[in-house]
Structure formats: structure tokens, C-alpha cells
A and B are shown apart, each in its own frame.
Chain A
Amino acid sequence: MTLRVNDLKVYYQTLRGDVHALDGVTFDLADGEIMGLAGESGCGKTTLGKSLIRLDSRMRHVGGTVELDGKDVPVGDDEAMVPFRYHEISLIPQYAMSALNPTRKIGRMVNELLRARGVRPADIADELKRRLELVGLDPDVLDRFPIELSGGMKQRVVMVISTLLNPSLLIADEVTSALDVSTQRAVAESLVEFRDREYVKSMIFVTHDISLVYQMADTIMVMYAGHIVEKASAKTVINEPRHPYTQMLIGALPEVGSTTVQGRLEGIPGTPPGLLDPPTGCRFKDRCPLAFDKCSERPPLVEIEPGHWAACWKTG
């Protein structure tokens, strides 16, 4: 088991109180697993991704543990996290287009970063060139400034930099959101290839594009309002979702070949609850067509069949 997250709670501190963005999340990630993390905006996907590598100044680790390759990961302790960062856990950020220092040549920045992390740049230079070629970039990009690269090129450079030290866990946060469809596919395929070549052991692929994640991920985990609602293999989540939220989310996706004759696509009525003062029990109950009395208690995430987890009283 690569990653084991147990009851992780991370809140945002605001002047009006704590925002319960991640409220008790428990899941495992196997060796070689690519897990797609899906859900609406504000459901806690990015918070989960960030929590595993670096909390920003407003985030507070409230409870729960994270274990990577049998070692305890001290997510709440910024200093103690440093040895894990880059070497064990790495990140491809949401903002890959602007993640490179605009006034340094890319190669020089990489060297300075590597040296700061205790790696001799010369030891890894050949590997760096090989990987740049693998994602279809000329190693000459190292002699350029970020401004000279297109958005897609910068994205690929960041992918290579982030995975250069063969981390055990890679968090890819909305990496395809700013790209056009064909580039999205190329990026997704490169990431799968990185996993196949064991540049990264396992990966959390945060996205709201379920159709993309279906093509590349082994498993999909769906989050809603800071809770996990369902986790299963990609096929199962798309074809036989059990949680009513997942069902409605999948139902809201257009299908190839469908026409308007078959009727309008249904959205999910209502809006997600505010997390400043979250509702008790199941957080989806106000929008759920199946809600009944028991939903005022929080449903546990249970394994309803091997490898298929859901948090709903109706599926239990």
C-alpha cells in the first residue's frame, strides 16, 4: 500500500470561523494506482491535494494521519514535511503555466532547485534530457526563458521537473484544465506513461473532467462538500455508480452521439452546502432525491463490494 490517509481533517481559517473543507477523509492508494479525484468546485479536491504536500498559510491540520510507504507523513508540520517534498511527494500545480520563475532560464532554475534539494544536477542531467524528449520537447528548452515557451510546453516542462526525482506520490492538480482537448489527451497519456515507466509510483489526478479521468485513471474517487462519497474502479464509477450524488453527476455528462431529441441533460438541482457551518449527517441530503430520516446521521464509507466504497445509507 503506497498511501494511506486516515480521517484527515484540514480546515481553512477565516475571520468568520473555520471552513471545513476536508472533514474526515479516509482512503488508500495502491502501488501503481492512478486515482482520479472528481467533484464539483469547492468540494475539497484541491485542498486534499495540497494537504498531502504543503498546507498554505490559511490551512490548518485538525486531525487524521497520512502514511506513505509505511512512513508517517507529518502533514501539519511545515518543517518536517520538507524531506518528503519533491523526493517522496511531488506536485504538478494547477498554475503550471506560471510555475516557472520568469527571469531565470529553465535549466538554471532546475539546477538551482536540485542543488537546494541535495541532488547534484550533473548526476541527473542526462535523465532530464531523456524525459524532456519523452514528452516531445527539445532539450534546448533548458536554455530558454519561460516566456519563450507556449502554454503546453510549459505544462510539459513542469511535468518533467516535478517527477524528476521519481517521487512515490504525484499530485496532479487540474493539470489539464487550461489546455485544449488534444493537448489534454497528450498530457494525460504522458502521465500514464510516467507511471508505466515507474517515474512515479502512484498518482492522484485532481480534475472535474470526469470523461478525461475515465480514460486514464484506474480508480475514481468522488468528493462532495469535504467528504468522500464513493471510490471504485473507473469503470464501476462511470457505469454502475451507487451513490445518488455520483449517479446524478454522471447523469449530468453528455454522451457522444446523443442528440437533443433524447431530452435535455439534467443538472443537479440546488447548490452544495456552505462549509463554514456544514450540515450534520449526510451533506448531500438536501439535494438528494432518496433522502430519508436516517440521513441526519453521517453515513460511513463502507466497502459495498470488493474495491467499491460508498458512503450512503441506501447502498450499505
Chain B
Amino acid sequence: MWRYIGRKLFVYLLTFIVAVTINWMIPRFMPGDPVRSMLSRASVGDPEALERMTNYYNEVFGLDQPLHQQYLSFWSGLFKGDLGISTMLYPQPVLDIILRAVPYTLGLLIPAILLSWIIGNRFGAFAARSKVLDNTVLPVGYILTATPYMWLALLLAWSLGIVAGVFPVAGGYSYSLRPDFSWMFISSLLTHWFLPFLSLFIVALGGWAIGMRNMIIYELEADYANYLQALGAPRRLVRRYAFRNAMLPQITGLAVQLGTIIAGALLTEIVFNYPGLGTLILNSLNSRDFFLLQGIFLFVVVGVLIANFIIDIVYVLIDPRTRVQMTGGSS
């Protein structure tokens, strides 16, 4: 077991290193000079002043060093929690900006992923082999999974936000409030959270329900289900076994889907102008803030890796087959 975790950790570490390297490379090898574009916005006319400012900023961002030096200092900065300085919100450190946005993104993602997964699985299992539900609800599920996140987000914002006027459609909390621990602020936070959450939840729900329904039908056709039924075992017992066994591929599915869901969350945030990482990505792209962009990508990569690692461990804990293979079994 520990050897397995160690091996997994090693693979994840390798992935992390590669991801960080690529992450470091992209802004540096991309066409366009971030410092120059920042200065051009300041419209400095004097060529000499421009030259001096360019040099100054190149030094601040460490762009005057040779590439390998930059790479190494990037890594050492990483371990010190120093991701550089944002050009968009100069002179705030990238890390601070990201840490301010991360709670919003996590607050959206974690409930949306977990709730849609749990409810989708339960519902899919319930709908399997029930003619009425199979014919009515599942086609809706197919439409839902095929819906692009941002499209559904727009639809919800328009219907519930603008037409019905029940929920606010932009921001993380009301612009007239300042963050504090009052009931008013928290309720404002919740109403602003609801629509982005709902659009993420609904799209993911359909996918899980369909996947589970198909898995359950497959499991109910399995030999062990037939054997139990031949021995007169009640439907409840057979279904319980089938549900548990069908959950296993769904967990793998969760790991595979994670990246897509996060991408969807980022888009949804943009639609609702929600102050999470997604909106931050858009803003930093618009202002060519490569350091900030690089930092956000790093956070997303690390987040996905951690989540996948957790799923890997959970899978081992609940599937006896992998567990037995790992410990060598007793036979």
C-alpha cells in the first residue's frame, strides 16, 4: 500500500515538474514582450525614458537574467511562495491576488462537483430499469451534458437573473457591501454564488446520471446478479451490490472529468463576473499579465493533481480488487 502511494506520488511529482516547466516556458516563448506592452499602455514618448524604464522593469521581473538563471530562480521563488509581481495590479504579488480569488473558485467547484456527482449517481441508479424515468428524464440528461457551461450560465442569468430578477447576475457579492462577517454580507455572498453554482451543477448532473444508469444496467446483467436472483435474493440486495460496483468506474470518471469541470467553472465565472480564478484569467489575459497568468495556471495544475491523487487513494480504499493486488493478497 505505502509502496503504491509512494509510486503514485513519484508520478505526480514528475507531472508537476513537467507542468511547471511548460508553465514557465509559455509566457517567455510567446510572441510579445510583456514589459514593452505594459509600457506602451503608459505611452511613454521619450525613447531614452522608455529604455530606462524597460531596463528597470526587466530587472524587477528578473527578465534580464539568462534563461536558465530565470528558470532556476523561478523554482526557488516557487518554494518560497514567491510567484513574482503582477503587471496588471503592479506592485501586488501574484500570490496575494490568486489567494484572494481561490476561495471563490473552490466555493463554487467543490459543492458543484460533489453534489452533482452524488445526486447524479443516486438518480441514475434509481432511473435505470424504470421505464417511465428512462424515457422521460434521461433524454433531458443527454441534453444537459451536451450543453456548454457558459451557454447554460447565460440562459440562467437571463431567465432567473434578468427576467425573474430573483438572483443577481454579476460579482461575488453586492458592490455596495464591504467584506465582513455580517449576515447581510453572507446572504449577499450566497445569492451571488447560487447561479454560477447551479449552472455547473446542472450540466454535470446529467452526465453522471446517464453514466450511472448505463453502468447499473450493465451490472444488473452481470453473472453475480443473475446468480443471486436465481437463488431468490430480493431486488434490494441485488441493486445494492450493483450500485456499489457501478460506483467504481464513476469514481474514475470523476478523476477524468475533473479538468473539464474546472475549465467549465472558469468559463462560468466569466459569464457571472464572479471574482474567482476564471475571471482573473480573463483579466490577466486582457492586460497581458503573464506572471499572473502563469501563477493561476500553476494553481489550477496543482489543484487538479491534488484532486486526482485523492481520488486515486479513495479508489484503492473502496475497491478490494486493487487493494488485494497491492498488498499481494493472502493467496
User: Residues on A close to B: CB < 8 A?
Assistant: 53-54, 56, 81-87, 90-91, 93, 95, 98-105, 112-113, 116-117, 140, 144-145, 147-150, 158, 161-162
Contacts and interface: CB of A to CB of B under 8 A. Distances in A.
> 7 nearest interchain CB pairs?
A85-B232, A99-B227, A98-B223, A86-B231, A95-B223, A101-B224, A148-B331
Nearest to B219: A101
Contacts of A149: 331
Contacts of B248: 103
B230 A148 contact: no
A148 B329 contact: yes
Interface stretch (B103-111, B114-122, B316-324): B316-324
Contacts of B237: 112-113, 116
Contacts of A158: 227
Interface of B: 222-224, 226-234, 236-237, 241, 244-245, 248, 319-321, 324-325, 329-331
Contact of B231 (A83, A117, A148): A117
B243 to A, nearest CB: 11
A93 B224 CA distance: 10
A148 B224 CA distance: 16
B224 A99 contact: yes
Contacts of B319: 103
17 contacts: A81-B232, A98-B224, A99-B224, A100-B224, A101-B241, A102-B224, A103-B248, A103-B319, A105-B320, A116-B233, A116-B237, A117-B232, A117-B233, A145-B320, A147-B325, A147-B329, A148-B324
Interface of chain B: mostly helix, strand, loop or mixed: helix
Contacts of A148: 324, 329-331
Q: Give the dominant DSSP class at A's interface.
A: loop
Contacts of A85: 230-232
A144 B227 CA distance: 19
A144 B321 contact: no
Given A102-B321, A103-B245, A116-B237, 7 more contacts: A54-B230, A81-B232, A85-B230, A98-B224, A102-B245, A144-B331, A147-B329
